[in-house]
Structure 1
Amino acid sequence: MAPLIALLVGTALARLPGFAGVAALDGWHPALRVGLALMFTLTAMAHFAGQRRTDLIAMVPPRLPRPDLLVTVTGVLELAGAVGLLVPATAPLAAAGLGLLMLAMFPANVSAARRGLTLAGQPVTPLVQRTALQIVFVTTAAAISFGP
Structure 2
Amino acid sequence: MEPLVTLVAVGVAAFVVCLVRGTPAAPLQAAVRTGLAAMFLLTGFVHFAFLRADLVAMVPPWLPAPELLVTLTGLAEWAGAIGLLIPRLRLLAAGGLALLLAVMFPANVHLALTGENLPWWDELPWRTAMQAVFFAAAVTVLVGEVRRRSVQRESGGVKQESSGAK
TM-score normalised by the chain length of structure 1:
0.90
Separation (CA, whole Å) in 1 of partners of 2:117 and 2:42: 18
Q: Which runs of 5+ in 1 are unaligned?
A: none
Same amino acid, percent of matched pairs: 46
| Preserved contact between residue 112 and residue 127 of structure 2 (Cα < 8 Å) | no
RMSD between superposed Cα atoms in Å: 1.8
Deviations 1:38-72 (A, max 9, x none): 0001111110023x100100000011111000000
Find out whether 1:132 has 2:139 as its counterpart: no
Q: How is 1:8-47 mapped onto 2 (pairs within 5 angstroms)?
A: 8-24=8-24, 27-47=27-47
Bigger Rg, structure 1 or 2: 2
The number of equivalent residue pairs is 145
Flag as ranges the 4+ runs of structure 1 deviating above 3 A: none
Partner deviation per Cα, 1:96-132 (whole Å, 9 max, x = no partner): 100100010010011111111578xx57701011111
**Who is 2:153 aligned against?**
none
Aligned to 1:143: 140
Instruction: Go from structure 1 to structure 2 and tell me whether the alpha carbon gap of 1:141 and 1:42 turns closer, same or farther (over 3 Å shift).
Output: same
Partner AA of 1:102 in structure 2: L
- Structure 2, gaps ≥5 residues long: 149-166
Give how far 1:26 is off. 5.3
TM-score, normalising length from structure 2? 0.81
